[in-house]
Structures are given as C-alpha cells and as structure tokens.
Structure 1
Amino acid sequence: MSAVSRESVQYDVVIVGAGPAGLSAAIRLKQIDPDLSVVVLEKGSEVGAHILSGAVLDPSGLSKLFPDWKEKGAPVTTAVVDDRFYMLGKDRAAPIPNWLMPPLMSNHGNYIVSMGNVCRWLAGRAEDLGVEIFPGMACSELVYGDKGEIKGVVAGEFGKRSDGTPSPHYEPGMELHGKYVLIGEGARGSLAKQIIAKYGLSQGRQVQKFGLGMKEIWEIDPAKHRQGHVVHTMGWPLGGNAGGGGFVYHAENNQLFLGLVVHLDYANPYLFPYMEFQNWKHHPLIADLLKGGKRVSYGARAISEGGYQSMPRAAFPGGALLGCSVGLVNVPRIKGNHNAMLSGTAAADHVAAAIASGRSGDVIEDYDHELRSGPVGQDLRLVRNVKPLWSRFGLWASLALGGFDMWCQTLFKGSLFGTLKHRRSDAEATRPASGFSPIAYPKPDGVISFERLTNVAFTATNHEESQPAHLHLADPQTAIDLDYRQFAGPAARYCPAGVYEYLDGDGPAPKFVINFQNCIHCKTCDIKEPSGNITWTVPQGGDGPNYGNM
C-alpha cells in the first residue's frame, strides 16, 4: 500500500476501464444482483474518449448482454452489405475471391460502428442499472491485501509537480477497495502489466505480440459513399518490410473509417509505420475515395495479436483481467470487441457467484477456464497459427498456409500444425540498423496525406504540462548508447504521435527528448523499444486524447 495517507471507499466490485469489457462486466453484475455495489473508473475525460477501434462489430457479445439491443436503441445500425478483400501492388488492386476465405472471415451479420459511441451507450445502460462510473479517474497504483491479493486501486491523484513532488494543489486521490477488482485497461495496460509480472500469469504461455493500428475518419463525396461497404487490403506498401493490412469501412453520414495496422514484429528499425499509413492512402483504390473529402479525426493504438497461445492466466488473487488486458483479438478477422464483451460477461458471472457464496479476494479459476474453453477461446483457437505463420514466412505463405489451417480446423476440427509458437517479443524482433538502409518516404501532400504533428492536432490530445512525464526511461543513457547508436533511434519513427525526438546536443551525442504532451496513449513505445527502456504509465486523469466518434 502507498505511504500517502488516503481515504478509502469499499465496493463489492471495482472495475478499471470503461471499455467494452469493463462496461459489460458492470452491466452483467447488476443484471445478476441489483444490490451489488459496482464502480467503473475511466482515465479518459469521458467514457469513449480513449476508445479507438476500426470497427466492424460482431454483435455476439452485445447480444449476450442485451438480446433486444436493437429495440433499446444501441448505436449499431449500419449492417455490412458488401465485404471485399484486395491484394495491393503499387498501382493495382487484385481482388481475392470471397469463396477462398473460411466462413469465419465473413462479415455477414456484422455492423460498422464507432466503438466510442457504443461504449457511451453501454455506460448509459450501466448507470440505469445503478453502476457508478467516474471518468477522469486514472488508476495509478494497486492496493494489496494482507494475503498478497489485489484488494483495490488508487485513483484520482492530481497536482504533482514535474519532479514528482506535491504542489500546493495536490490531491492524493482515493483508495477504492473491492471484494474483487477487474482490470479492463486495453492492450498493454500499466496495472495489468504489473499484475501479470507479480503473479507470473504468463508462465508457460507464449510471448504476447502486438500491432499498431492507425485510423482516420473522413467525410467524403456522397457520390462515392456506399454505406455498409467493407474493404480489407494486404500487400503494398508494407511488402516484405512488415506484416499488416488496411481497412476501409463506409459508415453512416458519408463517413469513411479507414486505417492501417502494422505488425510490430518488423525487423527494420528505419520503418516508419505512420508514413506507411499515409503512403497507403495514395493507392488509387483509396485515394479516389478521398479526393474531394476532408479528414475529420485521427488516432492510433496498440492491438494485441498473440492470440490463443499468448493469453496469460486471466484470474489472479483478488480479481481478473478482461478483454485486451488478456489479448483477445482475432487477428485475421481484425475483431476483438465481441470477445472483450464476452470476457466481461463471463467474469461477472463468476464474480457474482463467488460473492454470493461469501468469498472474496481469491483466485477465480473457473473464469480463466471458461475464457480458454468457451466461446472466446474457441474463436481464438481456430486462428491461432495465422500470426506465427505470417511472422515466420511472410504474407504469401501465411495466406496459403494460414487459410489452409483455418479451413482444416473448420471442416475437420484439427490442425496439421498443432499450435505454433511465437519466437520472440516485438522489441527483440528489431534488428540493428547496420543491416538496413534508411527508407525514403514521400513528403505528405497536405491533401490526402499529412505530417504527423498535424494529424495529432485532430486527436484533441491534452496533457497538463506541469505534471511528471508518464513515459519513464529505465536508463537515459541507454537511449543513446544502444537505441540510437545500434538501432538508429527507432522511437522517433515507431511513435505515431511524434513524442520522441533525437536532437543535436551540446556534445557529439544527440539529446533524447520526450514530448509527453503529444502522447495519444497507444503504448507502442512500451512494446517496441529494442532495449525495453521505456515504460508507459498513466498520466493524471482526464489527460490524453479526446476521441469523439472513433
């Protein structure tokens, strides 16, 4: 427990994160027992402010909570009416026939949504049931009980100076205690990272893998808009430099949701994911849609990609991990929101049963078992070899072998490959710069493509500059001696918000600068830095991006 004296408040269940997983857990708990006291703590300025997803939603998780979600007015209205896949070359787009795809890849019955708006709607339903939701409350510390279990979190600490000392306006925050604590922070959350390490939840499991998803919303010429139309692309411009692919979703109101996902296990430290995204928009297939339109919003976030074999144990003493804190994205489908919601629902079922039987603070093993063997585990197990095949053999082999493997499991309930392993972390995958040449990227034209900091302005990001930086270096000298000299300073390129810079210093070595005010909370630095020298933590509550319709 922290040495700072704080007031404490007791709840039955404390939930960290008002994303689809955390809100689903809160709703389910109150559906089971209206008398349970449930609180949800959200670091964003409002529910949805830090939510970013493609997104084509598989409604199975929503239907589990609300079978009548249509009648209740859920903002899930744009059904997918057309689903196409393309292999891109620099100036061409070859369609991939849908009949080649396993049935699980079909988007029939799915919906194009803003997950930020879905979460706002879920928050309203949760509050109707009596859930307390507090936005602007970053959870900065874990609180431990007498037996080493998690019994709560510290939230709402404000007013530290840049050196970490309390200012005259310092507020120590509060300890919120629960019989169980549920962690739904999303991919690479700071508390989940501590919990996984402390309790060894990843022992015997594969290393987690990640991608960087970058997204823009555009308003386009109505003549070019086809509501419900979905396009996925592979190939150019990434080619052999990195895995990943693009998406274009025609939402309502003449809006396009479009973006590029770059797998973070790329080797070349000169790769610049943000510029790959901007370059991708100049492909004729994309550029023709954008001409005459305008960019409305931008954002980026890390996506968990390790899949079934990378899931840590989801139950720990005193609580459970939810959603992307476990890593529940189905990579070939580019979908994880349904699994996040199903995980929250399952956790709530087991927590409510434990509380009803008089238990608290123990390990809810049944939840972990259900997550791996139930609908979520079944969804991820079918595609478990796609990501390792791509990482080992590249795009074309993964298309053939991954597709074959998914068909085998669909038709014959088995895989010839068994369960393939992930060979190394994304940080370890980065190779020394001496083996590569710098990549020359076209200058953004300011019409279809944009400079990085220009786009960051469209995230409405704000951080109080007097607070301590929430991005921590284990050793400042390592940023120069290893990350810069051996790997050419990849932080200056992998960050989609321009947080990191190498500037001319007073001597022969450059100066490593962290512009934490730009941070859009994607957490790529915590994942990709070759030395593992950067740790992402939460800033004070309410700071960061303020996404509207993402």
Structure 2
Amino acid sequence: MSPEEILSTYGPRESMEYDVVVVGGGPGGLSTAIRLKQLAAEKGTDVSVVVLEKGGEPGAHILSGAIMDPKALSELLPNWKELGAPLNQPVTDDAWSFLSETGATRTPGIFLPECAQNHGNYIISLSNFTRWLGQQAENLGVEIFPGFTAAEVLYNDDGSVKGVATGNMGVGKDGEPTENFQLGMELHAKYTVFAEGSRGHLGKQLIAKYKLDEGRDPQTYGIGIKEVWEIDPSRHTPGFVMHTAGWPMNNDTYGGAFMYHMEDNKIAIGYVVGLDYANPWLSPFEEFQRWKTHNNIKWYFTNDQGEVNAKRIGYGARAITAGGLMSLPKTVFPGGALVGCDAGYLNVSRIKGSHAAIKTGMLAAEAAYDAIVAGRQHDELSAYPEAFEASWLYTELNKSRNFKTWFKKGLTVATLMNGFEQFVLRGHIPWTLRRDKADHTYLKPAAECEKIEYPKPDGKLTFDRLSSVFISNTNHEENQPAHLTLKDASVPVSINLAKYAGPESRYCPAGVYEFVKNEDNSDRLQINAQNCVHCKTCDIKDPTQNIVWVTPEGGGGPNYTGM
C-alpha cells in the first residue's frame, strides 16, 4: 500500500496542537525550545513546545569533531558550568600541518589567522553535549518525543506550514501494514522550526517548495568521517588540537583531517572530504584510513616498537553543510523557519557549527515568541533573518564567505588567498567569490580519471566499513521499507556503473551500496539499508540525483555515545 492508501484506510491521524513544533533534537532545535521556554518564564506567559527527535534519545544521531566555541551557549545558559555542561577539556595548543607522503610542515603559530585559533574553546563530544542540552530543555518544561520521525510537512489551505506528521510504524518491507502497525500522528503548530541538521529531509523539500535558494549559490557539502580511540597516556596531550591538509589527497580535492585530544586518554580523529570532488574512484573512507598510516599520525597509536597499542571505540559519519553565507537560503517561509545546519550556518573556516546552531535557534525562538504573544500565526518570521543580519554570527560568516570557494583553485592558491583574507585583511574582504554548480555535477567519467588503489585494512590501525559500522551501534528494524529510495531502479547500473564505475559503492562510508552479479552475470545495485548511519552523502553526491533519503522508522540508525 502507498502512504496515501494507508492513510485513507487507517486514518484519520490523531493530532496534537502546540504553539511551536521543533523538528530535530540537536543543538539548534533544543536551543530553540529552551529559549522559547525562557522567554515565557521571563514574561509570565505560557508557550507550548514539542521537539521531535528521530534518534532513540537526544544525541543518538549527533556527530561532530568537535571543538565548541561557548559564546552562544553562554548567551543561552550563562550558568552552563554550574549546570554541569560536559565542556571539560579546554584547548591548550593548536597545530596546523601540511602533509607530504613522507613528512609534515607545521605552520608557525604566529601566522595562524584568528579563525584557526581555538583559545577559549573546548574539545567536546557533541552527542554527550546534546544529551545534556536535552535534559536542560526538559527541566524547563519542553516536551521531547524521541524515536519519532517527522516524515511529512503539513500545509494549510493558504500554502503555509501547518505542522508535521510522524512516520507510520509497523509497515513491512512489502509496504503492507503488519500486526504491529501504528498510524503516525499529526502535530500542528502556529510555527514549525526545522532543525534536522545537514541536508534535512524536510528542509530540502521546503527549500524547493518555497524556492528559498533562489538567487543563492548552490549549497556545497563535505562528508566527515570520525573515530574515537583510547591511546597510550605517553602519546596523549590533553587539549592538543591538530589539523592537517595535503596527503593523502591531491591538491585539487578539498579536504583535511583533525585529531583532538580529549580527556581520559581519548582522542577524536576524523577526515573531511568536500563532496564537490571530481574523481569517482575516490573513497573518503579509504582516504581516512590511509591518512592514519602517515608516520606523523601513526605515532599516536603505537608504542616505541611501532606496534599499534591503541583501541578504537567509536565510529560514525555525517554530511557537513559547508557553503557558508553565499549559499544560505532564505530561512523563513509562511509558518516556519530553518535553523542550524538545516539552513547551512556552519563556519567552514573555523570548522565549527554548533555555536551557530545554538545562536540561530535562539534568534528563531525570539521571533516566534514575539509573533505568538502578538496573536500571529503561520506568517513569515521576518524578525529572525533581520536579527541574524544584525548579529555577531553574520559578521563571523561574512568574514569567511570565500573560504571554501578558493579551494576550487587548488590547495596552494586557497592557502595563500585564505591566509591573505583572514590574516592580512582580518576578514575585511572587498570581493566575493561565487559558485554556480552543485556538488553532484562535478564527477567526471571514470574512464577520464586515474583509478585509486587503496591498501587493504590491517584490522589494527585501519579497518573496513562493516567492522566500523558495527561500533557505531547502528540498527534498523529489518522488516520495513528501505529508507534509501531510487527514482528509477535502472539508473544505478545503466548510468552510474557504466559511466562513473558505481561511485555509490565508494562515497558511502557504511557499505550501504553494493554492486553484485545476477545469475545471468548482469549487474544490480544491492542496498543494505540496515547499515545506514544517516550521513546523507548519497542524497547529495549521487551524480544523477536518483537516490532519495527518506526517514526510516523512528529510533533506527546509529546510537552514538561519546562522538
């Protein structure tokens, strides 16, 4: 049965009314909810707020490097230290290095621009921070519904957003309701705030429906892949931060790596690859594994005899919205708003987005609160983008508006020009670079590109995808329709495999896409949806835009702790 047939057979859906519905229980969504409740308490009014979170709990699907600038948090919760926020490890040292295959060159600290300095920031687990932020929201009276996916946007007759509907539960692989079937619920609101993170499923639909990206540069993304390790105390320096560029990728591909020394002899390491890369043979996951074998990196995982004596304890991946100010869509529409990475507020030059998510959530909340107490509903919250343009966040993003675009001219030019803009001009830039192509358009035919041969994993320092997904605690109810859908089932073989050598088998960091042989030796694409870590890379990078990521049953996906 189609979703429409299910609704006509089992409907109508029950509905609940709120002043504000927030889609997504990450830093942006929870900050929206917290600020709304704060304002209501300050003014002696009552505002009903609910947060829908597709993960099993707030933080379960949250992954980032992460170094947090506490500026926005201090505005939201000035007493965050007393409240026990898990910001425990201040940054003590910054290292920015350029790697060749055999060596490394560290940039002297005196030449690091302000955007590359982390004094006053904290190395954190964003998933743990989000759990804590969820507790603060609940303490203020916010209702949080974990394990509920916002699967559909609901509209009023005038075209404004009415709210959202949660996904049906208990639908089998064949699309038919099972004995465990439960119809989704409608949540109606005066305003609905979408905070789904990068490449939000509903945010993408809203941007298209209301043409919110009209006149903007196409959005651009990266894929970030992360591991958490326990290492020998003799190799651990609490608060040490390292970023690298260069090897193992070539100078024409945007990307780089990080290593953050957390507390308790743990380090977070990760690799980011811009999804505007051209060579379909490239595998971001394999580049990350290869990076760990560089002598200057491998040292942290080995003893004096060169033997690996560290233990990998976490793995995950997530897309990063990296277009910055010039790709930022209009963030309001009748009845709702986009906040955080659902819109694209990440500052790629600083490699930080959580502070921007918190700040934009606060600004959207303030605009929504004022509208509600004035008796308005379902109109455009124009006060939100106006407040953003007057904020320190706009100033910060404006200074870095050219950062990623310079990399289309190669690593050397980008390093020189970004250094000039940020270090010499201090972000007061008299020019603006523009882009006109989406990430998926950059792939070249495989025959025109050099094939990349990656070494086999050793199972000690380097690993395969499946063993990695295992430690991400990813799980989906097996008897449900695949949430990775194809507009045309023939395209993966007839176009992607034939022309691009099947790039989905390489850009996916979870082994979801696999080309296998039929009995007649023809090819077919096998989709292992159970492995999906919800990174959204396929939805972004598929060269034919034939793959569409939709929401699975609530609670499915990774279950990150300490990531």
1:398 is the counterpart of 2:398? no
How far apart in 1 are the matches of 2:472 and 2:179?
Answer: 31
- 2:361 aligns to what SS in structure 1? helix
Gaps of 5+ in 2: 303-308
Assess if the C-alpha contact under 8 Å between 1:480 and 1:509 holds in 2: no
Q: Conserved in 2, the CA contact under 8 Å of 1:12 and 1:37?
A: yes
Alpha carbons of structure 1 residues 195 and 409: separation in structure 2 relative to 1, 3 Å: farther
Q: Once the 2 structures are TM-superposed, how far is the Cα of residue 149 of structure 1 from its aligned partner?
A: 0.8
Shift of 1:161: 1.2
Q: Which amino acid aligns with 2:13?
A: R
**155, 161, 179: which one pairs with 1:168?**
179
Q: Deviations over 1:430-450 (max 9, x none)?
A: 111110132110111111000
Name the CA distance, whole Å, in 1 between partners of 2:558 and 2:64: 14
Of 305, 308, 326, which residue of structure 1 is paired with 2:325? 308
Counterpart secondary structure, 1:459: coil
TM-score by length of 2: 0.95
Asked if residue 12 in structure 1 is aligned to residue 28 in structure 2, the reply is no
| Aligned residue type for 2:158 | K
Give the one of 463, 468, 475 matched to 2:481.
468
* 299-308 vs 157-166, greater mean Cα deviation: 157-166
Aligned partner of 2:65 in structure 1 is 54
Superposed displacement of residue 47, structure 1: 0.9
Is contact 1:290-1:448 (8 Å) kept?
A: yes
Query: Is the aligned partner of 1:481 residue 2:488?
Result: no
Secondary structure at the counterpart of residue 342 of structure 1 = helix
Partners of 1:409 and 1:548 in 2: CA distance = 41
Which secondary structure state, in structure 2, belongs to the residue aligned with residue 61 of structure 1? helix
Deviations along 1:373-427, one digit per CA (max 9) or x if unpaired, are: 4222211111111111102x1111100011112235426x333xx2211231110
CA offset digits 1:20-78 (Å, max 9, x no partner): 00000000000000421100010001111000000000001101101121122111121
C-alpha distance in 2, partners of 1:143/1:532? 25
5+ residue gaps in structure 1? none
Mapped contact 1:241–1:271 kept (Cα < 8 A): no
Helix, strand or coil for the counterpart of 1:546?
coil
Partner residue in 2 for 1:87: 98
Question: Hey, which bits of structure 1, 4+ residues long, moved more than 4 A?
Answer: none
User: Does the Cα contact within 8 Å between 1:307 and 1:329 map onto a contact in 2?
Assistant: yes
- Provide the residue aligned with 2:467 in structure 1: 454
Letter in 2 for 1:410: R
Please, which of 189, 196, 199 is the counterpart of residue 210 of structure 2? 199
CA contact (8 A) 1:241 1:268 kept: no
Structure 2 letter corresponding to 1:406: Q
Is 1:318 the counterpart of 2:335? The answer is yes
Mapped to 2, the partners of 1:313 and 1:343 lie a distance apart of 13
Contact 2:114 2:422 in 1 (8 A): no
Give the match for residue 402 of structure 2: 385
* TM-superposition CA deviations, 1:281-315 (whole Å, max 9, x none): 11112211112110000000000111100000000
Aligned to 1:25: 32
User: Any conservation in 1 of the 2:111–2:423 contact (CA below 8 Å)?
Assistant: no
Deviation by residue 1:183-203 (Cα, 9 ceiling, x = unmatched): 000000110001000000000
TM-score (norm 1): 0.97
Whether 1:289 and 2:306 are equivalent positions in the alignment is no
Say if 1:382 and 1:409, in contact at 8 Å, map to a contact too. no
| Distance in 1 separating the partners of 2:180 and 2:467 | 33
What is the Cα deviation at residue 508 of structure 1? 5.1
Is 1:355 the counterpart of 2:368? The answer is no
1:431 is matched with which residue?
A: 444
Write the distance in 2 (CA, Å) between the matches of 1:250 and 1:458.
Answer: 20
Q: State how far apart, in whole Å, the 2-side matches of 1:433 and 1:461 are.
A: 32
How far off is 1:333 after superposition? 1.1
Out of 527, 534, 548, the residue aligned to residue 514 of structure 1 is: 527
1:241 deviates by 5.3
In the TM superposition, what whole-angstrom CA distance separates every residue of 1:64-105 from its partner, at most 9, and x where no partner exists?
Answer: 101121122111121001111100111211101122222232
SS in 1 for 2:500: coil
Instruction: Check the 8 A contact 1:136/1:156 in 2, yes or no.
Output: no
Distance 2:228 2:252 in 1: 26
- The answer to whether structure 1 residue 407 and structure 2 residue 407 are counterparts is no
| RMSD (Å), alpha carbons | 1.2
Instruction: Output the amino acid matched with 2:235.
Output: K
Q: Structure 2 counterpart of 1:547, which letter?
A: Y
Query: Structure 2: which amino acid aligns with 1:330?
Result: N
User: What's 2:87 paired with?
Assistant: 76
Per-residue deviation, residues 309-339 of structure 1 (Å, max 9, x unmatched): 0000000110100100011111121101100
Give the Cα separation in 2 of the matches to 1:43 and 1:157. 13
1:253 aligns with 2:264: yes
